[in-house]
Amino acid sequence: MNNKLSIVAKISIFLAIGCIAALWAAPMWRIDLAAPQYPEGISMQIWINDVKGEVDIINGLNHYIGMKTIHKEDFREFVYLPIALAVFCGLGLLVFIRNRRGLYYGWTGLLIGMAILSMYDFWKWEYDYGHNLDPTAPIKVPGMAYQPPLIGYKKMLNFEALSQPDLGGWLFITAVVLLTAVSCYEWKRAKSKTV
């Protein structure tokens, strides 16, 4: 049985590594906020190792409702994520060198796993920020939580929040889709050869 990778799969390894490497240069996620008193909008970009944009303004607004302020230093993710992604890229090279289909499947699974874990972590983070409010907060709305949407649009008090992948996020998704598609292709190719 031929366990070697097709040329398509080999190319896909480098494309996926390229997409992931781009995360060092492009933000992963963005949350946009708009309200009548902020017609120009406020936005925050989440990078693999930082949170940028108008974070100070968001922190200033959040203090009324008792949300914790957002600081880069508070996120261990910003240390782990770059390491995990760098390891992923390194493993990609290994898959290429070893040239084994099984490894390719495993590698794809790893990325999907990382994507799911990241989204779960992001959701937990949002839940924590939106629910663990300061009991001395000046404004308390009974039953109100301020968890931003994981993805998509949500209205929170007078603010409209829109959460979506940014350029880096789309590249990550591209890598996931690409590897999944090529894995299916490899799977089918392998099946047709055994039959």
Partner 1 sequence: MKSNWLLLIIAAAIAMPGCKMKNTASAVSGDAAARTYVAPGKYDELYNFVSGGFNGQVSVYGLPSGRLLKLIPVFSVNPENGYGYSEESKPMLQTSHGFVPWDDQHHLALSQTNGEHDGRWLFANANNSPRVARIDLKTFKTMEILELPNSGGNHSSPFLTENTEYVIAGTRFSIPIGNQESALDNASYKKNFKSTASFIGIDKNTGHMQVSFQIILPGMDLDLSRAGKGPSHGWFFFSTYNTEQASTLLEVNASQKDKDFIVAVNWKKAEEYVKAGKAKKMAAGYYHNTFNEETHSATSEIIKEVLTLDPEELKDFVYLIPCPKSPHGCDVDPSGEYIVGSGKLAALIPVFSYRKFEKAIADKAFEGEYNGIPVVKYEAALHGEVKKPGLGPLHTEFDASGNAYTSFFVSSEIVKWNIKSLEVLDRVPTYYSIGHLMVPGGDTKKPYGKYVVAYNKITKDRYLPTGPELAQSAQLYAIDGEKMQLLLDFPTIGEPHYAQAIPAEKIKAQSVKFFDIAKNKHPYLSAGEKATKVVREGNVVHVYMTAIRSHLTPDNIEGVQVGDEVYFHVTNLEQDWDIPHGFAVKHAPNAELLIMPGETNTLKFVPAKPGVYPFYCTDFCSALHQEMQGYLRVSPKGSSVPLKWGTGTEDTARAVAAR
Q: Which residues bind partner 1 (CB under 8 A)?
A: 40, 54, 56-57, 59-60, 63-64, 69, 134, 136, 138-139
Residue 94 vs 157, nearer CB to partner 1: 157
Nearest Cα neighbor of 68 from 164, 159, 135 is 135
Tokens of residue 16, six digits: 């996926």
Contact 64, 137 (CB under 8 A): yes
Tokens of residue 29, six digits: 């996620």
Tokens of residue 32, six digits: 């946009």
Q: Per this entry, what is the length of the chain?
A: 195
Residue 139 vs 177, nearer CB to partner 1: 139
Q: What is the DSSP pairing of strand 51-53 with strand 159-165?
A: unpaired
Residue 128 vs 134, nearer CB to partner 1: 134
Residue 57 vs 84, nearer CB to partner 1: 57
Q: Shortest Cβ distance from residue 167 to partner 1 (Å)?
A: 25
Nearest Cα neighbor of 88 from 24, 29, 45 is 24
Q: Shortest Cβ distance from residue 25 to partner 1 (Å)?
A: 25
Q: Shortest Cβ distance from residue 155 to partner 1 (Å)?
A: 19
Torsion of CA 180, 105, 169, 78, to 10 degrees: 170
Give CA–CA dist 178/128, Å, rounded.
Answer: 33
Q: Shortest Cβ distance from residue 147 to partner 1 (Å)?
A: 20
Q: Shortest Cβ distance from residue 126 to partner 1 (Å)?
A: 19
Tokens of residue 175, six digits: 């890598």
Residue 60 vs 90, nearer CB to partner 1: 60
